[in-house]
């Protein structure tokens, strides 16, 4: 539940071994080898230590100690996250031990110790759902928002994404996306002109349109390193390379769209904003009603921007605008990297599910109003799946199955809302489906 997955995709490097180690292999019970025939030299009965043997012995002990230390760090993080999540919130909205947990997470990020973070989250996933959710928030925010010093001044830099759903004829082409340099520069400038970022901030967009597999492949440590790259690039005139950002552009996977196919694809714009810690533009009011109004105003500015920017974005993606572009755009909300990634993936997943169900209904010659939807979550190993079955009077009409990477309960509510918008007669909940497709412990879907 609410499971953070290790980054998917191909990071072009070998996977590291599990730091917790594996059980020692049992000693061999094979029979001893026969003695070699012929004369055998006498072996010395004493051992003389050499520098090389001492180094080997030291390295063997160091490796064993390192594994113990790695496991200890995981257990310390798990215990602290559990305790902090269970503590009360003070007047400043902080919890007892939260500062220490945040320092521990930031240290792991600086050390590129992703294994400790993922192993702690994986353990909490099964042992303490509340601690898991709290630690995930701390880790994601620490990776997405980094405070660094330049001279005597501390500044904040954060990584943000703008997810978009793009419907085209034949699919997007990587070599064509963002190829128009002037259009791309205008796109970057529009973020501040539309009030999405502070006029005092320094904002950059990465000149690459990201495929979901590229974004999903980024680890927590890689995102933090990208923030540091962007900070150096924006504050140091001598910086000529941004290796972490360059590594993030792994390239799009091959597609199978033909020229006449109608393709719906998810893509991300990635940017960085460097700002003063006390910039009033980003100050959220303490009063709850005022805070709600603040975020609603930001959302309204985003809606206006997305409408105004559509022709320019079409030019950036296809080199054409209007009807010639054959490109329809739906912008989701701008957010910090991990939040926007979840929003984009969930929306795209829902649309895939609806498309699959609509195709099934069409093949069965049925309308949505003639079907009842049954949804279920099934967990197999460390993988969770959402199953949706549309059922009519004569049996199953359509079926969809989705692998989940986030909170399964949230996915259930999203699926129910999407199915209601499809126009089905009703939505029901089940514990799963048996081998013959019959729902297990079916009941009414709870009120939301």
For 262-284, write each residue's pLDDT tens digit.
Answer: 899 999 999 999 999 999 999 99
Res. 47: pLDDT tops 60: no
Question: Around 156, how many Cα atoms within 13 Å sit in the side-chain half-sphere?
Answer: 16
Beta strands in 290-381 (DSSP E): 327-331, 335-336, 372-380
For 210, 304, 348, 405, the CA distances from 166, given in Å and listed in that order, are 13, 18, 10, 22
pLDDT tens per residue across span 48-84: 445 555 555 555 555 555 558 889 999 999 999 999 9
pTM: predicted TM-score of the whole model, two decimal places: 0.81
SS3 182: helix
Res. 302: pLDDT tops 80: yes
pLDDT tens per residue across span 368-423: 999 999 999 988 777 788 999 999 988 899 999 988 876 677 888 889 999 999 99
For 223, 332, 349, 412, 422, the CA distances from 346, given in Å and listed in that order, are 20, 11, 5, 11, 17
With bands split at pLDDT 50, 70 and 90, how would you rate the model's confidence at 448? low
pLDDT, position 411: 85
**More confident of the two residues 216 and 380:** 216
């Amino acid at each position: 539940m609410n499971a953070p997955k290790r980054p998917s995709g191909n990071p072009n490097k070998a996977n590291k071994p599990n730091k917790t180690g594996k059980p020692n292999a049992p000693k061999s019970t094979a029979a001893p080898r026969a003695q070699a025939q012929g004369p055998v030299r006498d072996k010395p009965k004493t051992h003389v230590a050499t520098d090389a043997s001492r180094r080997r012995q030291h390295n063997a002990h160091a490796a064993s100690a390192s594994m113990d230390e790695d496991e200890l760090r995981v257990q310390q993080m798990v215990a602290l996250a559990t305790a902090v999540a269970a503590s009360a919130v003070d007047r400043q909205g902080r919890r007892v031990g939260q500062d220490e947990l945040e320092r521990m997470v930031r240290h792991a990020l600086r050390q590129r110790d992703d294994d400790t973070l993922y192993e702690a989250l994986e353990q909490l996933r099964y042992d303490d759902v509340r601690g898991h959710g709290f630690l995930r928030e701390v880790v994601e925010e620490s990776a997405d928002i980094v405070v660094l010093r330049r001279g005597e001044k501390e500044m904040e830099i954060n990584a943000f994404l703008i997810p978009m759903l793009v419907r085209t004829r034949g699919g997007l082409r990587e070599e064509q996306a963002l190829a128009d340099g002037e259009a791309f520069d205008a796109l970057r400038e529009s973020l501040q002109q539309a009030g999405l970022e502070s006029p005092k901030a320094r904002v950059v967009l990465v000149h690459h349109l990201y495929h979901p597999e590229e974004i999903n492949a980024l680890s927590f440590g890689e995102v933090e390193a990208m923030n540091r790259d962007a900070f150096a690039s924006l504050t140091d005139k001598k910086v000529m390379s941004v290796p972490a950002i360059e590594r993030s552009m792994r390239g799009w996977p091959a597609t199978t769209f033909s020229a006449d196919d109608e393709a719906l694809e998810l893509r991300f714009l990635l940017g960085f904003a460097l700002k003063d810690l006390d910039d009033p533009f980003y100050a959220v009011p303490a009063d709850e009603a005022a805070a709600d109004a603040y975020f609603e105003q930001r959302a309204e500015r985003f809606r206006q921007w997305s409408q105004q920017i559509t022709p320019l974005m079409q030019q950036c993606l296809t080199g054409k605008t209007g009807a010639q572009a054959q490109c329809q755009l739906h912008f989701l909300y701008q957010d910090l990297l991990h939040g926007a990634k979840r929003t984009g993936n969930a929306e795209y997943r829902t649309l895939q599910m609806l498309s699959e169900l609509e195709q099934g209904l069409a093949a069965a010659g049925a309308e949505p109003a003639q079907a009842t939807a049954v949804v279920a979550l099934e967990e197999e190993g460390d993988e969770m799946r959402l199953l949706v079955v549309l059922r009519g009077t004569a049996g199953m009409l359509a079926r969809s199955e989705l692998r989940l990477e986030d909170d399964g309960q949230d996915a259930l509510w999203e699926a129910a809302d999407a199915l209601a918008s499809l126009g089905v007669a009703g939505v029901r909940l089940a514990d799963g489906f048996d081998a013959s497709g019959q729902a297990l412990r079916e009941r009414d879907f709870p009120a939301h």
